[in-house]
Chains A and B, each alone.
Chain A
C-alpha cells in the first residue's frame, strides 16, 4: 500500500482509531495484523519470506543470548547468512547471472520474479537486531509477536528508517495514550511529507523523466536542469516518505529515528552522509565501517574501508552497475576529501576565505551539492543501458549555449524549461525554494511548533491554504510509487 494511495487514506484512520480504542495488551497484535495487511497489498505471498527471516532471527536472538563463546558467534553467523541469503537470492541472483553470461544471455536462464518490496530495508533492520543482541546492547526479545512487529511495523516496513532494536522494542512496551499535541504534530508531519512527495517530487519528476526517458536526444543544459531537478526530486520523494513514516508512528505514540537533516546544506560529502538517509549510513558505519577498523587504521586501509563501505552501500540500493558506480563515486569523493585536506587548507588560508564565513560556507555547500548531483546521474540512469548513461555524463557540458542563445526565448523554452511553460518551470523552482526556506526556518525551531503558537484563526487559515495548495499543485494523475520502494 502506498502512503499516497486512496487505500491508505482509509487504512490509516481505521488502524489508528482501533489502536487507541484497544487496551494496551491487545495493541501489539492489532498493529501486527495491520502491518501484514499493509504489506500484503503489494504481493501477499512475500509475507512468507518475511515470516521466514522473522522466525530465524527471533530464535537466533534467543540462542545468541543463551550461548557463549564460539556457539554465540555461530548463531549470529547463521542468522546473518539466512538474512543475506534471502537478500542475495532475490536481489542479486539475476545480476550475477547476467554478469556471468557476459552478453551471451540467451544461454542463461533469468529468474522471473518480482523483488519483494522493501526487502533491503527490513533485512537490514532484522540484522541489526541479532548483531545488537550479540554485542550485548539489546536483550533478546522473548515475545514473538513484539519481535515480529519490530520488523514489520508498517510505517517503516517498506522504506525505513532502518531502526535499531534499542529504540523501537522498548516503545512497544510503553502504554501510549491519546495525546492531542502529539497526534496533531504527527499529522502535520505526515501532511508535510505528502506535500513533498505529491506536490514537489512528482512535479519535478515530469521534468526529469522527459530527459532521462530519452537521454540520447539531449545534450548540455537539459541534462544539467534535469539532474538538478532530480537531486531535489529524490530528496523530496524519500524524505517525504520518511516524514510520513515518522508522522504515522508519532500519531500512535512511537518515535522513529530521523532519516534526513537538510542534506543539501552540507558543507562536505562526509557531512552529507551524516544528513542523508541517516538510518542507512549509520547502519553501515556501525556494522561494517567500524568493524573493518574505521578511521583507526593505516591510511591506505582507511581508503579501502571508505571505498568498500560506500560501494556496498551502492550495491545495497540495487543489483545494478549504476548503483555500484554511484556508491563507489561517493567513496572516491571521501577519499579525495582526505587526500586533498592539506592543499585545500592551504588554498583557503591563502585566499583568506575563512574571513568571509558566508562566502566560504556558500562555496562549500555549492561544491558539495554539485558533487552529489553529479553522482545522482548514475543513480537515476539505473534502468538505462550503460551507453545511454555514459551519453548523459559525457554530454553534460557539450553544446552549451552562447550568451545570445540564453536571451532567446525559444532556446530557453526548449532547453531550460524542457518544453514546459514558463509558469510550470517557475512553479517547480519556486517549490524547491519554498521547501528550502522551510528547512532554513526549521534550523532553530520546528515550523509545527511555530504554527501551534499562533492564534486559532491564523492556524486554521494556514491549514486550509496548505491543504488547498496540496490539491491545486499536486500531481495526481496516478499515485506515483516512492523511488526507494524498489530497494
Chain B
C-alpha cells in the first residue's frame, strides 16, 4: 500500500507542479511585464505617489475612486487655493482602508484632504486589485491586510489565472494594445493622467449617448467606510491636517432610481461622520450630457463644473 501511496503522491505533485508551475511561471516571467509597467492604469500609482511624496506642505490631496479621476480639474483647485494639488483617485474598489493608508504617511501640518468616495465603496475592497497594484508598486503591500490566509491565496490565484489568460490572448492575437491620450478610444492606462493625477484620456473620446443605469444594491452601506474615514480624520486632526468629505458625482437618470438608497447612505454619513461634509448629494447630480460613460464619470465640462462646486463649498466651509 505504501508504494502505491508514494506513487500517487509523486504523480499528483508532478501534475500540480506542471500545471500550476506553468501559470506561476507565466506570471513571474511575463514577456509583456515591462510593457504593462509602462502602460497599466494600476501602474499610474507610481506617478501619483511620486507627486504626493514630492509636494511640499501645505498641499491639497484628493482621494476617491474613479469619480474623482474623471470628475476633478486639479488646476482649478490649485488656482483657487494657491496650493499644489495631487489627485490620488484611481478606482473605488481598492476600498477606503487601502486608499487612506496610502496617503496617510505623506500628510503633514497644513495639508488638506478631500475625500469623495463613491456610494458603493467599502472598507476592504477587492484584494485582487491590490495584489495587482503590488506587482507594479511593491510599496502597496504596506497598505492592505486580509481577513485570512485563504482569502490571500484565493486572490493571488485569481490574479495569476487572469494574467495567464491575458498572456495567452496576447500571444494568440499577436498584438499588444497601445494607448494614447490623443486617440478617441483609450481610457485607462498609465499615461492617461495629467501631472496632477486627473484623468484626461477621455477628453477626446465621444461620450456614451445613453449612460447605463447603475443600480445601488438595497443592502449597500457606508458604515465600514465611515469607520475608516473617522479614524483617518481623528488621526489627521492631531497633526493639523484638514479633512473633508464631498459627495461623488452621479448621473441624473440613475439618481431618480437610486434616490432612496442614496438618501439612506447620506443619513448614515451625517449620523456617524466626525469629519465635515461639503454640500449634499443633490449638489453633485449632473445631467447625463455631462457624463462620459457611466453614472460616476464626468466629461471635461462636467469635471470643471463639479470642481467649481467643490471649491465654492470648501471656501464657504472655511469661512
Tell me the chain B residues, 2-37 only, with Cβ under 8 Å from chain A.
4-5, 7-8, 15, 18-19, 22-23
Whether A467 contacts B150 by the Cβ 8 Å rule is no
In the bound assembly, the distance between CA atoms of A38 and B157 in angstroms comes to 22
One digit per residue, 1 when the CB lies within 8 angstroms of any chain A CB and 0 when it does not, for chain B 228-269 equals 000000000000000000000000000000000000000000
Whether B161 contacts A476 by the Cβ 8 Å rule is yes
Whether B150 contacts A7 by the Cβ 8 Å rule is yes
For the complex, is A457 an interface residue (Cβ under 8 Å from B)?
Answer: no
For the complex, is A180 an interface residue (Cβ under 8 Å from B)?
Answer: yes
Whether B7 contacts A464 by the Cβ 8 Å rule is no
Contacts of A180 in B (CB 8 A): 4, 7-8
One digit per residue, 1 when the CB lies within 8 angstroms of any chain A CB and 0 when it does not, for chain B 131-159 equals 00000000000000000001101100110
Q: Which of A10, A178, A464, A471 has a CB less than 8 Å from the CB of B161? A: A471
Q: Are A476 and B8 CB-contacts (below 8 A) given A6-B150, A6-B153, A177-B1?
A: no
For the complex, is B164 an interface residue (Cβ under 8 Å from A)?
Answer: yes
Whether B164 contacts A463 by the Cβ 8 Å rule is no
In the bound assembly, the distance between CA atoms of A53 and B313 in angstroms comes to 62
Q: Are A464 and B19 CB-contacts (below 8 A) given A6-B154, A178-B5, A183-B8?
A: yes
In the bound assembly, the distance between CA atoms of A480 and B150 in angstroms comes to 16
- Closest chain A CB from B208 CB (angstroms): 14
For the complex, is A468 an interface residue (Cβ under 8 Å from B)?
Answer: yes
- Closest chain B CB from A425 CB (angstroms): 17
For the complex, is B210 an interface residue (Cβ under 8 Å from A)?
Answer: no
In the bound assembly, the distance between CA atoms of A472 and B151 in angstroms comes to 21
For the complex, is A184 an interface residue (Cβ under 8 Å from B)?
Answer: yes
Contacts of A5 in B (CB 8 A): 150, 154
Tell me the chain A residues, 452-487 only, with Cβ under 8 Å from chain B.
460, 463-464, 467-468, 471-472, 474, 476-477
Question: Chain B at the A interface: mostly helix, strand, loop or mixed?
Answer: helix
In the bound assembly, the distance between CA atoms of A5 and B8 in angstroms comes to 24
Whether B157 contacts A468 by the Cβ 8 Å rule is no
Contacts of B272 in A (CB 8 A): none
In the bound assembly, the distance between CA atoms of A7 and B153 in angstroms comes to 9
Q: Which of A7, A178, A183, A467 has a CB less than 8 Å from the CB of B15? A: A467
In the bound assembly, the distance between CA atoms of A282 and B164 in angstroms comes to 45
Please give the number of chain B residues whose Cβ is less than 8 angstroms from any Cβ of chain A in the complex: 21
In the bound assembly, the distance between CA atoms of A6 and B165 in angstroms comes to 19
Question: Chain A at the B interface: mostly helix, strand, loop or mixed?
Answer: helix
In the bound assembly, the distance between CA atoms of A477 and B157 in angstroms comes to 11
Whether B7 contacts A471 by the Cβ 8 Å rule is no
Contacts of A178 in B (CB 8 A): 1, 4-5, 8
Size class of the contact patch on chain A: 20 to 34
Whether A472 contacts B154 by the Cβ 8 Å rule is no
When C-beta atoms are compared, the residue in chain A nearest to B164 turns out to be A471
For the complex, is B80 an interface residue (Cβ under 8 Å from A)?
Answer: no
Whether A184 contacts B157 by the Cβ 8 Å rule is no
Whether A472 contacts B164 by the Cβ 8 Å rule is yes
One digit per residue, 1 when the CB lies within 8 angstroms of any chain B CB and 0 when it does not, for chain A 281-313 equals 000000000000000000000000000000000
Contacts of A184 in B (CB 8 A): 8
When C-beta atoms are compared, the residue in chain A nearest to B169 turns out to be A472
Contacts of A468 in B (CB 8 A): 19, 22
Q: Are A464 and B154 CB-contacts (below 8 A) given A178-B4, A471-B23?
A: no
For the complex, is B168 an interface residue (Cβ under 8 Å from A)?
Answer: yes
When C-beta atoms are compared, the residue in chain B nearest to A177 turns out to be B1
Tell me the chain A residues, 139-195 only, with Cβ under 8 Å from chain B.
177-178, 180, 183-184
When C-beta atoms are compared, the residue in chain A nearest to B23 turns out to be A471
In the bound assembly, the distance between CA atoms of A10 and B19 in angstroms comes to 17
One digit per residue, 1 when the CB lies within 8 angstroms of any chain A CB and 0 when it does not, for chain B 91-103 equals 0000000000000
Q: Which of B7, B15, B153, B158 has a CB less than 8 Å from the CB of A476? A: B158
Most B CB contacts (10 A, CB to CB) among A6, A178, A184 go to A6
In the bound assembly, the distance between CA atoms of A472 and B161 in angstroms comes to 7
Contacts of B168 in A (CB 8 A): 472
In the bound assembly, the distance between CA atoms of A476 and B8 in angstroms comes to 28
When C-beta atoms are compared, the residue in chain A nearest to B151 turns out to be A6
Contacts of A471 in B (CB 8 A): 19, 23, 161, 164-165
Contacts of B18 in A (CB 8 A): 464
Whether B8 contacts A10 by the Cβ 8 Å rule is no
Whether A463 contacts B15 by the Cβ 8 Å rule is yes
- Closest chain B CB from A435 CB (angstroms): 21
- Closest chain A CB from B268 CB (angstroms): 20
Contacts of B1 in A (CB 8 A): 177-178
Tell me the chain A residues, 1-44 only, with Cβ under 8 Å from chain B.
5-7, 10, 20
Contacts of B22 in A (CB 8 A): 468
Whether B8 contacts A6 by the Cβ 8 Å rule is no
Whether B150 contacts A10 by the Cβ 8 Å rule is yes
In the bound assembly, the distance between CA atoms of A378 and B20 in angstroms comes to 41
Subset of 10 A-B contacts with CB under 8 Å: A6-B153, A7-B150, A178-B5, A180-B7, A180-B8, A468-B19, A471-B19, A471-B164, A472-B165, A476-B162
17 new A-B contacts at CB < 8 Å, known A178-B1, A183-B8, A467-B15:
A5-B150, A6-B150, A6-B157, A10-B150, A20-B5, A178-B4, A178-B5, A180-B7, A180-B8, A468-B19, A468-B22, A471-B19, A471-B165, A472-B164, A472-B165, A476-B158, A476-B162
Task: Give the interface of A toward B (CB within 8 A).
Answer: 5-7, 10, 20, 177-178, 180, 183-184, 460, 463-464, 467-468, 471-472, 474, 476-477
| 9 residue pairs, one from A and one from B, having the closest CB atoms | A6-B154, A467-B19, A180-B4, A7-B150, A6-B150, A471-B161, A476-B158, A178-B1, A178-B5
